[in-house]
A and B are shown apart, each in its own frame.
Chain A
Amino acid sequence: MSTVKEAYKEIENIIGSEYISDKDFMKAAYSRNVDPAFPDRWADMIVRPETTEQVSEIVKIANKFKIPMVPRGGGADLVGGSVTKGGILIDLTRMNKIIEINEDDFYCEVECGITWGNLVSELHQKGLTTGVLGPGSGFSATIGGGLSNSTAGFGSTKYGVVPDICLGVEVVLPNPQGTIIRTGAAANKYANPFCRYGVSPDFTGLFMGDVGTMGIKTKAFLKLFPKTPYKAQRYYMLNKNDYNKVVDLLYKLRREVRDGLHDVLVVPLALLQILSMMVENKPAKRPRLKGPVFSILVEAMDQGILDLHLKKVSEIMENDTRSFEYQEMDLDAPLSKDWKFNLKYAYNYFNKYISIVPPKISCTTCHKIPISEIPKAAQLSNEFDIQNKGEFPSQSISLFATVIFLMPNGHCVIVGGFNADNIDEQREISMKMWHKKLRNQVRYGGVHYWLGEAISQSIVEADAYTPEFVQFFKDMKKAVDPNFLLSPNKFHMYSYNDDITKYIIKNEE
């Protein structure tokens, strides 16, 4: 009997035959995430544990037979995160329970396979929120996936990325013992998981944004906030297409409106022009599109305070912008005064900026830069696209940004990338160009967040890490994963003996 078959039998004894499969159609169902840039990859088996202890037993068996394993949440990432060619794919979505919502001390304990949508809708009924509500795919994306990808999403301008609300995690380490640990305050066996720092070094951070390479997160302890009852949306169009002015206004908003800002998005002119062409219900008069549109969502605990925020926003924007309504280009779009929060808005508003013309291969290059560097990054990005014009897949549209999303303190997420036809012939060209564009961003100082396979490898290829850092990374991974079984391929790591400097692409600057 092959080792895979033996492992299958042993895992089946742990989780039951209903929750393990090596059938081809099940492997096909799990062969990709929302990432058509990648080829299909079939695991050897799909397993669906229900408890941390079961995950631990699976890890022990994987170690016994030296079979690689990859954890998977909602499978909603775009960068090749949670698929594996061969090995054990661990689907964690049965671990979807809310263990505790502590309404008095503002924290919760949940299993990592619960979706953002399910958790947030439970919290909202109790007048609570996680602040950042997870990624745009939050109806299917899980808490564990959000933590592994350091995700930004609705609420990120005020509340930051998902790890910023994390108070600790329960993790199964991928070692032969399948060790279960808890981090944050929960590392103190006498304490409730109410805060992150103080018991030990911040080992929670080891598992944030790790793309599932350092451990299998089974539970998460998250900060909660009282839900803010008053919210309002306003749109302003810049009078000219000028990123220097975007920078000025983002600074002013950050300095003068501060915590009143829930989300600030800037939609570049190029994207507005594309979106206006795609509108079904067009107005008779062509829209006057002169510059980027600021979408500003403010929130407050009191209507009077909300009005003050809106007044301040209006004062900041009045000299350089005009009030804008999406109805100017789309008669079906709601007016800003009619805007109301709902989960569908939180989880769907972002998606149209990610792949503007589906179904396409979507090579997303979401990365963070300081506000001050927006104009320079835009210029470098455009120069890159021009210089490499002949290397993009045919019919591809490449954009520096489809949206610029203000984050806490003084930085922002540049959501951008390029697309290509979803056909096999374009997949290799797209992947090559994707990595090249990502390397370019890494070299101008861009910091990505959902790393998956494509981005984590591109960081290595760009020679971003010092040899000392690479050694530190390997040492840390070896401490938790001595047999190198968890999520191989990420960061171009294929074994501890492999020299990842051979993947560095030189002479591109």
Chain B
Amino acid sequence: MQIIRSLWQGKLELSKDMAEVIYQCPTCNACAEACAYEMDNALMYEALRAELIDAGCGLEAHIPMNKAMVELLNPYERDNKQKNEWISKLDFEIKDAYSEKADVLFFVGCTAALTPEIQTVAINTAKILKKLNVDFAVHGEKEVCCGSVALRTGNWEAFNSVALKNYELFKKSGVKTIITSCAGCYRTLKVNYADFLEDLNIKVLHTVEFIRNFIEQNDIEMKQFGINVTYHDPCHTGRNAGDTPLYEEPRELLRKIANLVEMKTIKENSKCCGAGGGVKKGFPDLALEIAKSRIREAEATGAEYIVSICPFCYRNLSDAIKALNSDIKMADLTGLINKALG
């Protein structure tokens, strides 16, 4: 905050050295939670990062990622056609939101669509929706990145570019409900797209929120596995999710299918996985160290699984499990729910 203040007062110049420090924050907003005053520190960091980028001082490691987002529509520098890959692994057809109408748009997100070991999140979500007889569609290779990582790293130009494309896609689809299994997409659509989604009268839900409501309304039974699990709150669905953080919804579902054993820091006080805010890309060692700390906390519960609802947390925490040679297993909640629905 003092850096921002000194910049504002003209006592400091933006610099690459400064960027090296400012980009080490995963913008998890735990500091804002601990502070007695209501300040959105993550938002201020994003604004400062935007200033750094405007001054040509952005982090080199983020440049290809944000460039790819604009040009290829995903930050992984991959052909967007690969977003169809997970769909080909399904044994049922799903609607193409570009050409077919559906009640619900499943916004898959780039991480789940393009990371082979995390494609299960997309696959399990689709299977759950199918089992619940939900009329849904996906955009497949036409799905455009939500722009989360551009926004978090201060590249507003890249964010605006993809946000406008998404606006057109959502408008064309005529959909009124968007669900996503990605915490980062959830926050971005729910909080950062709020104004224009309100224009289009579109409601955004995380998949767990949707499933929780659906199961409750339709009195659907799920299998209780009796295993001990602990739950990791993604910052995107917690502290950074605006007025409606998803703390209870995943826990309610987990209690139906497993024994939930809580970690020392949970909900608004939850430790971050360390991947967000461009840290995984910019400072992978730092991201891994933060994730290791979270895994140690999970291990202390004696749980068999650490469960989350964010593909990016999944990826970083999995890396930490591997690095620590830990016995704990990583799971996305959609995987457990899919199994529990039989």
Contacts and interface: CB of A to CB of B under 8 A. Distances in A.
B313 to A, nearest CB: 22
A25 B15 contact: yes
Interface string B183-201: 0000000000000000000
A28 interface: yes
A32 B3 CA distance: 11
Contacts of B5: 28, 40
Contact of A29 (B3, B15, B35, B36): B3
Interface in A175-200: none
A140 B34 CA distance: 8
Contact of B17 (A25, A28, A121, A348): A25
A261 B291 CA distance: 42
B89 interface: no
Contact of A23 (B2, B17, B37): B17
Contact of B37 (A24, A31, A347, A358): A358
Nearest to B1: A29
Contacts of B18: 23, 25
B15 A125 contact: no
Interface string B165-181: 00000000000000000
A28 B11 contact: yes
Contacts of B6: 25, 28, 31, 40
Interface residues of A, number: 24
Interface string B32-43: 001111000000
A249 B13 CA distance: 57
B22 to A, nearest CB: 9
Contacts of A352: 36
A139 interface: yes
Contacts of A228: none
A232 B6 CA distance: 45
A30 B17 contact: no
A66 B298 CA distance: 49
A351 interface: yes
Contacts of A344: 269
A454 to B, nearest CB: 19
B11 to A, nearest CB: 7
A446 interface: no
Interface string B92-115: 000000000000000000000000
Given A31-B2, A40-B11, A25 B21 contact: yes
A234 to B, nearest CB: 24
Contacts of B12: 24-25, 28
A145 interface: no
A358 B21 CA distance: 28
Contacts of B17: 23, 25
A136 interface: yes
B264 interface: yes
Given A23-B17, A24-B12, A40-B11, A29 B2 contact: yes
Contacts of B13: 24
Contacts of A140: 34
A117 B6 CA distance: 29
Interface string A336-360: 0000000010011001100000110
Contacts of B3: 25, 28-29
Nearest to B19: A25
Contacts of A358: 37
Interface string B240-269: 000000000000000000000000100001
B37 to A, nearest CB: 5
A399 B227 CA distance: 57
A136 B13 CA distance: 34
B300 to A, nearest CB: 10
Interface string A19-36: 000011110111110000
A300 B2 CA distance: 43
Given A24-B11, A29-B3, A31-B2, 11 more contacts: A23-B18, A25-B6, A26-B21, A28-B3, A28-B5, A28-B11, A29-B2, A136-B36, A344-B269, A351-B36, A359-B37
Interface of A: 23-26, 28-32, 40, 117, 121, 125, 136-137, 139-140, 344, 347-348, 351-352, 358-359
14 contacts: A24-B11, A24-B12, A25-B6, A25-B12, A25-B18, A29-B3, A31-B2, A31-B6, A32-B2, A117-B34, A140-B34, A347-B34, A351-B37, A358-B37
